[in-house]
Amino acid sequence: MKAHDGMYIGGEWRAAAGTDLIAVVDPADEQVIAHVPAGTAEDVDAAVSAAREALPAWAATPPAERAAKIAALRDVLVARKDEIAETVTAELGAPLPFSQKVHAGVPILVAGSYAELAASYAFEEKVGNSTVYAEPVGVVGAITPWNYPLHQIVAKVAPALAAGCTVVLKPAEDTPLTAQLFAEAVHEAAIPAGVFNLVTGLGPVAGQALAEHGGVDLVSFTGSTAVGKQIGATAGAAVKRVALELGGKSANVILPSADLAKAVGVGIANVMGNSGQTCSAWTRMLVHTSRYDEAVALAAEAAATYGDRIGPLVNAKQHARVRGYIEKGVAEGARLVAGGPEAPREQGYFVSPTVFADVTPEMTIAQEEIFGPVVSIIRYEDEDDALRIANGTVYGLAGAVWAGDDAEAVAFARRMDTGQVDINGGRFNPLAPFGGYKQSGVGRELGSHGLAEYLQTKSLQF
């Protein structure tokens, strides 16, 4: 596949400082499809310098002009959506229809939402005898994961640009080609040189150099809780702003009055969608004891229909990790009703859509983020029991509640310690704030809340 052999810095593709390369692998057939440069602290330094240099002019650009540039970027993403989908499929492994609809489609929506928000947001307000200005935080270091390669980038870069910040992006090492395509789109949209910069590289090298860089004012990180804690500590020591979007172990709570078939069907689809590699996936299905057996049968049946439709996991390490979790579930006494640890194909990092019944809340598979196509069905006795189980992990990113009417589901959702809850199958809203309670993170992305993360206030008194 097409790949750049340099970094996008200061509006041009520049040779990398070092000679190390990262091999990009197609997880469906385990073949190397491209190489990209593995950036070093030197590349990060050059990118941060370019971003600092571009900051004053971009921060002073009227919001309506910044909005027009983001709209132009959205238009390039629209024009190149097929290429984006094919690239995501090649390096992440997602089936092409899913890449087209979600991996290419959602970033277009989000970029469009920030083109509108940049133009309409109140960057200035009167509070009594004060005028309060919302000003850009400065240079943003954005570090993103591979699971939604373009969405995670756009969810940081679009609001940062709308706010008047400049950005250095360090994308995940598994999916750098999508990030390079995004840099091309930025260039095509004529976003001024240095406003967006890209350094590909390894997390502990380029990522760490970016998180620690003195020229970065805000680190926005999406990834694992373990790395997030480290980045939070580094940022804290430097009194630097930080946003952390971390892991999850979300509960799909099916109350006794719910439409069970729908709740189970949508619940299984929610997990299988990106081969379970979704931080907000509802991987714990909570079912009342009176309907438990029926739910298990429906879930097993629904999971089986994904056998041929599911993509592989992103890499060999995740493949081994997820299969290890499935083995652990069996060892701890959970009952497999669909799938299992055996690799379903000879080639590619595939895992069968897997459903466990008789899962108890304290089992490893009910507590830890698996990040694969694995659903655990847990029994509850009454609503308080369901709430205890739903809230009984270190995470609090998302969830779902199903009930006979919305009011009943809302009453339960209000007691959940989590940042997002879908009521009776509510649809994705690109303007709704997304982010976690507890160890799922700090800060919010998307919509006006996501924009506010990249702003700081200055009050003038009269």
CA 455 to chain centre: 21
Minimum distance, C-beta of residue 240 to ligand NAD, in the bound complex (Å): 14
Minimum distance, C-beta of residue 155 to ligand NAD, in the bound complex (Å): 8
Minimum distance, C-beta of residue 356 to ligand NAD, in the bound complex (Å): 20
By the criterion CB under 6 A, which residues form the site for ligand NAD?
143-147, 170-173, 203-204, 207-208, 211, 222-224, 227, 230-231, 245-248, 279, 369, 371, 397, 436, 440-441
Which of helix, strand or coil describes residue 439?
Answer: helix
Minimum distance, C-beta of residue 173 to ligand NAD, in the bound complex (Å): 5
User: Closest-CB residue for ligand NAD?
Assistant: 203
- The residues annotated with a catalytic role in the active site are 245, 279
Q: Which residue number, 281 or 299, has a Cβ lying nearer to ligand NAD? A: 281
CA 399 to chain centre: 15
The b-or-e profile of 201-217 (16+ CB within 10 A means b, else e) is bebebbbbbbbbbebbb
Q: Which two tokens stand for residue 6?
A: 């340099």
- In this structure, the strands spanning 455-461 and 441-442 are unpaired
Helix segments in 391-442, DSSP class H: 406-413
Q: Which residue number, 203 or 273, has a Cβ lying nearer to ligand NAD? A: 203
Q: Which residue number, 227 or 365, has a Cβ lying nearer to ligand NAD? A: 227
Tokens 């739910």 correspond to 295
Handedness of CA 177, 178, 184, 187 (dihedral sign): negative
Minimum distance, C-beta of residue 119 to ligand NAD, in the bound complex (Å): 26
Q: Which residue number, 247 or 329, has a Cβ lying nearer to ligand NAD? A: 247
Longest dimension (CA), the chain: 72
Contact assessment for residue 180 and residue 196, using Cβ atoms and an 8 Å cutoff:
no
Tokens 């952390």 correspond to 244
What whole-number distance in Å separates Cα of residue 286 and Cα of residue 253? 5
Q: Which residue number, 216 or 253, has a Cβ lying nearer to ligand NAD? A: 216
